[in-house]
């Protein structure tokens, strides 16, 4: 798919995966809407990218907020790519990962489980459906292509660890819905893909420790290359998915052969 004279929406666009992806897509000639709540980082990135890219403050738990971000992209140019890489707020009162029933015999509240699924799965579907609806109005390119949506799963969607029941359920949902959505959107010429990253050096780690500390702790878990992933490696794959029309309906593991 030709990415020039088109726009892209990146939710979580001011984060590690998102900012790297925004840069890659801008390099290919796209005008990028950086959708996030990190105002300072988002505005700085939009200024860095230039060429029509903008930052739009977006609450991914609010459909009207998502609609405004989608419309901002459409106003720039035909929306051809949506990359969903956002995180979201933890459950109210949560202090970290929680086992279904902990060692003291106390269960995780259902509200915590539902909140996590809402952040990582429900909101991803909301972005996907709204972006695809906008793409359906595009003039078709070669092979009748109108756009592509890329969601972000996780290797936890295949092999979750203790305390990840809600997160694994959400990311497993991303994996599970990708083929079905691709089939749903096939008649309008919109593709659906997902990327399942392993352990990457994103802001989630660098906010808690130095890059060197994170690499020393988490890098040895990756068989080859023996390090954490670089967000730009995610971005490279996302850009290739956008350009390659025959990539559709599947989830690609991006994890250096990491298995838990």
CA distance 136 to 116: 30
User: Which active-site residues does the annotation give?
Assistant: 167
> Which residue from 30, 35, 55, 33 is spatially nearest to 44, judged by alpha carbons?
55
Residue 255: strand pairing partners: none
Residue 94 has pLDDT above 80, yes or no: no
Q: Does residue 207 contact residue 163 with C-beta atoms inside 8 Å?
A: no
CA distance 85 to 258: 20
Superfamily of domain 7-90+108-253: NAD(P)-binding Rossmann-like Domain (3.40.50.720)
Q: What is the pLDDT of residues 210-249, one digit of tens each?
A: 999 999 998 999 999 999 999 999 999 999 999 999 999 9
Query: Domains of the chain: which residue ranges?
Result: 7-90+108-253
Share of the chain above pLDDT 70, in %: 99
Q: What is the pLDDT of residue 205?
A: 79
Residue 88 has pLDDT above 90, yes or no: no
User: What residues contact residue 248 under an 8 Å CB cut-off, 6+ apart?
Assistant: 182, 186, 191, 192, 193
CA distance 14 to 36: 6
> 63: pLDDT confidence band, cut at 50, 70 and 90?
very high
């Amino acid at each position: 798919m030709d990415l020039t004279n088109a726009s892209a929406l990146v939710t979580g666009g001011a984060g590690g995966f998102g900012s790297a992806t925004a840069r890659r897509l801008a390099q290919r000639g796209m005008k990028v809407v950086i959708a996030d709540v990190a105002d300072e980082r988002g505005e700085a990135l939009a200024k860095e990218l230039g060429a029509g890219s903008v930052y739009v403050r977006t609450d991914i738990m609010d459909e009207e907020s998502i609609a405004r971000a989608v419309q901002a992209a459409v106003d720039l140019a035909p929306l051809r790519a949506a990359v969903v890489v956002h995180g979201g707020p933890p459950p109210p009162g949560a202090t970290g990962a929680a086992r279904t029933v902990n060692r003291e015999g106390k269960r995780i509240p259902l509200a915590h489980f539902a909140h996590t699924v809402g952040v990582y799965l429900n909101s991803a579907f909301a972005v996907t459906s709204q972006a695809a609806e906008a793409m359906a109005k595009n003039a078709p390119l070669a092979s009748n292509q109108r756009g592509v949506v890329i969601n972000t799963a996780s290797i936890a969607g295949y092999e979750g660890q203790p305390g990840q029941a809600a997160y694994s359920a959400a990311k497993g949902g991303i994996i599970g819905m990708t083929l079905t959505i691709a089939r749903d959107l096939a008649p309008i010429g919109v593709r659906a893909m997902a990327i399942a990253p392993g352990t990457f050096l994103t802001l989630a780690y660098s906010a808690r420790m130095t890059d060197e500390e994170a690499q020393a702790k988490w890098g040895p878990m990756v068989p080859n290359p023996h390090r954490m992933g670089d967000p730009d490696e995610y971005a490279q794959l996302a850009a290739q998915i956008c350009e390659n029309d025959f990539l559709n309906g599947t989830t690609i593991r991006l994890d250096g052969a990491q298995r838990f």
